[in-house]
Structure 1
Amino acid sequence: MTENPHVSGSYWLETAPGPDRPALVDDLTVDVAVIGGGIAGLSTAWELARAGCQVAVLEADRVAAGVTGHTTAKLTALHTLIYDKLRRTRGPEGARLYARSQSEAIERAAGIAGELGIDCDWEPRSAYTYARDAGRVEELRAEARAAREAGLPASFVTETGLPFPVAGAVRVTGQAQFHPRKYLLALVDDLVRQGAHLHEHTTVVGLEEGEPCRLTTDTGATVTARDVVVATHYPVFDRALLFTRLHPRRELVVAGTVSADRDPEGMYITPDEGTRSVRTAPHGEDRLLVVTGEHFTPGTADTRARFQHLADWAAEHFPDVTLTHAWATQDNDPTDTVPLVGPLHPGAHHTYVATGFGGWGLSGGIMAGRLLTALITGEKCAWSELYDPRRLRSTMREAPSFLKTQAEVARHFVGDRLRPSPPVESLPPGEGAVVRTEGGRLAVYRDEAGNLHALSARCTHLGCLVAFNAAERAWECPCHGSRFDTDGKVIQGPAIRPLEQRDI
């Protein structure tokens, strides 16, 4: 692909659309209500249903269609370069618990796929973290040692299946890749067979904690539940101010067919070059190449140029690729490396959260399902303390990252209001910009017919100014990652209210 890649949408969504599920219209009483229908929410609901709980899943859009529907779909415990850091910050036991919890998540997914007979393109693969810069070899060797000491089948290698030389790589065998939508839609079917309530197009707008808890929705219906799980990727209810410990990161994906003999036969990632992730998937007699990278904070980049850069990289290294798909995904990086899974806040007794998976939400989401089920049913889990959102031991360790994140938020909150704005008349069709008017800052989009659509530019989460993503035609908040369509509707939280309509 030499022309600007068209944002055609996720391959996973296209090839596994799934049936619509009804919105919630009647009041409901259950044992556990799960807010969010991604892999963390659905895994939690499935584990709870198997444990005998009456469960309801409430999804604002479509199940497995948000972050989970736009993933690269690697199931691995090798999370770029994490084990050497964990060994230093959480000690050898913390690193071992992390490796064990993530590895058992992969085994759990394999077991569920086998038990339910799910045809989800499951393929065993080795995972690699590589570098082309010889200056990073010692860092890779240290990571391989730390991962091996944590219990993973890890080694340092200099040869891979990539079509270019590397200075070195950490290899972990016994990992997997799959089609996430096919897997999760089968979980949904099994949940319904078990009597679970599953509702799409139902936004939860209120949470009243108590015994029991009570949820209110935008449909007018309420849900009463003994326990509530907030699994909305970025917490829509954040009573412990977890947003101060999360940094949103957006990444782009291009995909297309390559001949089977060009398959690198592994799952690869490098932290260099703005991140590059490579894997393939079954695609008839050929393979589907999936390349991810170009990470940036939402609302801060020329996304079209970055899509082109990624497409050019794929074409350079896989010359026979025919790119057919392009999409984007979003993750939240925790300031102290480890996801936040457990009680929603220090005083919580019946509310729980799963967030901050840092780009590794598939194994992390499955892990979260098992951990939250243990907490809710009163079982013990060896790694509950490691992931506990209330953890205090890491406060000093995460201080530099925490301060950097908050400084960036402050810079956007103040600096974006001082930025000069273009005249409305200069906006071409298909473009948007934040403009200054007598009534304040407006987010203005001109559609292909030349009509203007004006919204308040203040994000409804905490009031930062949004910015326009021209490639995806969406308004994005650079502070905490909320995203809105050109009519103001929420695409991605933590915002739960749309941008307000304005006249221009």
Structure 2
Amino acid sequence: MTTNKENNYEGLPRYPESYWLDSVERPEFPPLTDHKETDVVIVGGGITGITTGYLLSKEGYKVSILDGDRIFNGTTGHTTAKVTAQHNLIYDELIEHFGVDFARTYYEANTHACGFIRDFIEEHGLDCDYEEKDAILYATKEKTVSKLEKEFKAYERLGIPGELADSISINVKAKKALIMKKQAQFHPLKYVLKLVDEFIANGGVIYENSTAVDIMTKSETGQRLTVETAEGATITGNYVLSCSHFPFYESEGYYFSRLSPERSYIIAAKGNTEELDAMYLSVDQPDRSIRTVKINGENYLLIIGDSHKTGQGEPMMKHYENLKTFGEEAFQITDIPYRWSAQDLYTLDKVPYIGPISTNHTDILVATGFRKWGMSSSTVSAFILRDYVLGVDSPEMEIFSPDRFDMDPSLKKFLKENINVAKYMIKGKLEPTDKRPEEVEIDEGCTITVNGSRAGAYRDFEGKLHVVDTTCKHMGCEVEWNNGERTWDCPCHGSRYSYDGEVIEGPAEYPLDRIDPEEKLS
């Protein structure tokens, strides 16, 4: 394990690095290189895909999982890892828009998912730092106190164990708090690695560095579904399950117009954890989420927040600095060995899309839009996807169905999000470039002009200039520089690229075009 301490600047590590990924050894799996046959193809090697694969393999299905990178490199490796059904302020809103039965089913599904995680850990005697903790929402502003009180009334209507409190034990001026009892936190990768072991033992197969880009449907093949990869390989099955965070197959459902990407930031810090007896989340902006984590046997803090639309807003490094300032004031933090960020997708009505990708293709299933609550939502997804394949009906299938489209609040949100996309689609094309190539400094990323066209440049610590075309490969928006991660991020649909153009996060499937810095630049 490394801590990056030698590279600290302004009290923060020079490079982003997830503690979860740095603290475990992951197995390596070969890429898919030719044609294979299976029963079920799962695209995405995170907690959703692995859990679904495990459940189906237990039922005797032949299951193959494809990941475009290494397993866990996406959201699973960068999560906050709270195991809870307390998903911020949600239950009052669900009752208002969809009714009590809908809200109760949502709660029961997530509570069942949390119970599955607990029981799996106990059954296998896993040492994954699992700790039962209360989950606490708190309000720091008078105007949000009433929202907590309404949420508590929703708890009472739904039979959710909880209570209101006038104060909290940490050094934050809270006016009111809402407690959901007996939730949990853990080390997510130590847990998922055991699921991988069990999946492999059941005959499951994993392919890494295999980027799924398209599906030949049954109407095209005349028989079964065939997944095609960017590397030229294929795999055929009766079902394809898209568990890749953003759905990789976009011929159906128009998910790019129904999902909103947000980034949030995390620092791991040494500080005062004596009063931190629960997991905390503010309901006000700027958002703050706090929990403890064991690093080398010692208690550290995880401080999370400063959420914003991907590719939009102030320089990204500022968000880490904001969390550091908050930590210094509230917990007297003195050491920050890790910082990293995560990307989450929001649906139009805040409820995940889980089920058939469209009414036209009930053999292609999707799970997405977990809104920062991936530990329980991924497990809910796994059970729903398993039941679809088994032909078993359940109440959860209806409420999480991607086909739902409620006029309130979905239509308003749909229009708002797509107006925002249109704004940034135009804005990026009209923005002037920042500098001339020779003016780009060490460890700086900015836009330049290459032969009359906009391009992105980054100069690494060895002085090498990396230049890419800034037109996103998804739908042609102009990507923006993220100085906190040294990436190019798309403000329209959330695609992210490394400074030399490689895809980090979809929906884009192909890298940015690279430009030879030796060409004549202007």
Give the TM-score, by structure 2 length.
0.93
Which residue does the alignment assign to 1:144?
152
- Please, which runs of 5 or more residues in structure 2 have no aligned partner? 1-7
SS in 1 for 2:360: coil
Partner letter of residue 3 of structure 1?
A: E
Alignment of 1:310-459 (within 5 A): 310-392=323-405, 394-424=406-436, 425-459=438-472
Partner letter of residue 19 of structure 1?
A: P
Partner letter of residue 223 of structure 1?
A: I
1:117 to 125, 130, 134: 125
Is 2:435–2:447's contact at 8 Å kept on the other side of the alignment? no
Q: Distance in 2 between matches of 1:501 and 1:246?
A: 28
Q: Distance in 2 between matches of 1:490 and 1:320?
A: 34
1:272 aligns with 2:284: yes
Shift of 1:96: 0.4
Shift of 1:139: 1.0
1:16 aligns with 2:24: yes
Alignment of 1:162-181 (within 5 A): 162-181=170-189
Shift of 1:450: 2.6
Q: Distance in 1 between matches of 2:333 and 2:434?
A: 42
1:29 aligns with 2:37: yes
Q: Distance in 2 between matches of 1:137 and 1:51?
A: 47
Q: Distance in 2 between matches of 1:243 and 1:355?
A: 11
Which residue does the alignment assign to 1:302?
315
Counting aligned pairs with the same residue, the percent is 33
Which residue does the alignment assign to 1:76?
84
Q: Distance in 1 between matches of 2:184 and 2:123?
A: 17
Is 1:96–1:149's contact at 8 Å kept on the other side of the alignment? no
Is 1:158–1:169's contact at 8 Å kept on the other side of the alignment? yes
> Deviation string for 1:169-200 (max 9, x for gaps)?
11100111110000011111111111100111
Q: Distance in 2 between matches of 1:391 and 1:320?
A: 45
Q: Distance in 2 between matches of 1:64 and 1:150?
A: 34
Is 2:435–2:446's contact at 8 Å kept on the other side of the alignment? no
Is 2:144–2:283's contact at 8 Å kept on the other side of the alignment? no
Deviation larger for 162-171 or 478-487 = 162-171
Shift of 1:263: 4.5
Q: Distance in 1 between matches of 2:270 and 2:275?
A: 10
Is 1:2–1:312's contact at 8 Å kept on the other side of the alignment? no
Partner letter of residue 299 of structure 1?
A: G
Q: Distance in 1 between matches of 2:286 and 2:170?
A: 18
1:237 aligns with 2:244: no
Partner letter of residue 293 of structure 1?
A: G
Q: Distance in 2 between matches of 1:111 and 1:15?
A: 24
Q: Distance in 2 between matches of 1:357 and 1:203?
A: 22
2:63 to 55, 60, 71: 55
> Deviation string for 1:407-451 (max 9, x for gaps)?
110010001111111222322121122233445221222222333
Which residue does the alignment assign to 1:5?
12
Shift of 1:150: 2.2
> Deviation string for 1:449-490 (max 9, x for gaps)?
333222111111111000111121111101111111112110
Give the TM-score, by structure 1 length.
0.96
Which residue does the alignment assign to 2:231?
219
> Deviation string for 1:206-235 (max 9, x for gaps)?
211214100112333211110000111111
Is 2:16–2:485's contact at 8 Å kept on the other side of the alignment? no
1:485 aligns with 2:509: no
TM superposition outliers: structure 1 runs of 4+ over 6 Å: none
Q: Distance in 2 between matches of 1:259 and 1:276?
A: 16
Deviation larger for 107-116 or 145-154 = 145-154
Is 2:291–2:303's contact at 8 Å kept on the other side of the alignment? yes
Judged with a 3 Å threshold, the aligned counterparts in structure 2 of structure 1 residues 449 and 281 are, in CA distance, closer, same or farther, namely closer
1:292 aligns with 2:292: no
Is 1:412–1:479's contact at 8 Å kept on the other side of the alignment? yes
SS in 1 for 2:384: helix
Partner letter of residue 467 of structure 2?
A: A
SS in 2 for 1:397: helix
Which residue does the alignment assign to 1:465?
478
Partner letter of residue 358 of structure 1?
A: R
Q: Distance in 1 between matches of 2:511 and 2:37?
A: 28
1:102 aligns with 2:115: no
Judged with a 3 Å threshold, the aligned counterparts in structure 2 of structure 1 residues 462 and 194 are, in CA distance, closer, same or farther, namely same
| RMSD between aligned residues | 1.6
Q: Distance in 1 between matches of 2:87 and 2:506?
A: 25
Tell me the number of residue pairs that the alignment of Structure 1 and Structure 2 aligns: 502
Is 1:256–1:288's contact at 8 Å kept on the other side of the alignment? yes
Which residue does the alignment assign to 1:247?
260
Q: Distance in 2 between matches of 1:124 and 1:105?
A: 15
Partner letter of residue 363 of structure 2?
A: H
- Please, which runs of 5 or more residues in structure 1 have no aligned partner? none
Shift of 1:345: 1.4
